[in-house]
Amino acid sequence: DAGVIQSPRHEVTEMGQEVTLRCKPISGHDYLFWYRQTMMRGLELLIYFNNNVPIDDSGMPEDRFSAKMPNASFSTLKIQPSEPRDSAVYFCASSPAESSYNEQFFGPGTRLTVL
Amino acid sequence: GQQLNQSPQSMFIQEGEDVSMNCTSSSIFNTWLWYKQDPGEGPVLLIALYKAGELTSNGRLTAQFGITRKDSFLNISASIPSDVGIYFCAGQLYSNYQLIWGAGTKLIIKP
């Protein structure tokens, strides 16, 4: 079975550019999470969705960040405009409903570098 | 906000040694999870604990849910080279379903 798929795996961009990260959750999973990982702050939950609906976006750093889930098999995290401090590894994870999203399955991550 | 204290931050061990790491919190959790992250990959769930006092094994890994519900430990017996990586604890609060993550324990095996 395919796991969580993220693209791109690596992204290098210049400050001020728009960045879009993509995620395909595991089929049948009702919850989708976006995390950011840095050395300084560790794993931070940015936002999560239940059945395509955003439930909690309190972890989104600021208005430059936005996330959408137009359907059950696709989500995007957009940063516009990007800044060097956004450089991090961004993970998408999904979870089946019956586990009450305890057991989150992570994608391989997108390593973002903003110059 | 809620915090998990995970220790140690890193460990240098010889192959074959046993490893122990733990997480503590000032909050009560209803679930403890242990994940491992290999370089360049996302975290992978190792063990999930759902009851206070629960002791669960997964091969050479053993984890326990503390009686107070405020702590958990993970032991790895007879470490091997593929055990290297970063181990994260995560707790789920009673009050909501969000996971709170520890800062990770980096395991390094001395050559």
C-alpha radius of gyration, chain A, whole number:
13
pLDDT in tens, A33-63: 999 999 888 899 999 999 999 999 999 988 9
Query: Does the distance separating the beta carbons of A101 and B42 come in below 8 Å?
Result: no
What DSSP letter does each residue of A45-106 carry, written as one string?
A: EEEEEETTEEEE-TT--STTEEEEEEETTEEEEEESS--GGG-EEEEEEEE-GGGTT-S-EE
Mean pLDDT of chain B: 91
Q: Judge whether residue A111 has pLDDT over 60.
A: yes
- The rounded Cα A78 to chain-centroid distance in angstroms is 9
Long-range CB pairs of A68-71, under 8 A, 24+ apart, other chains included: A69/A32
Q: How confident is the model at residue B99 (pLDDT cuts 50, 70, 90)?
A: confident
A43–B101 C-beta distance less than 8 A: yes
Q: CB distance B45–A91 less than 8 Å?
A: no
Q: How close does chain A come to B51, measured CA to CA in Å?
A: 14
Tens digits of residue pLDDT in A51-107: 999 999 999 988 999 999 999 999 999 999 999 999 999 999 998 876 655 688 999
* pLDDT score of B27: 87
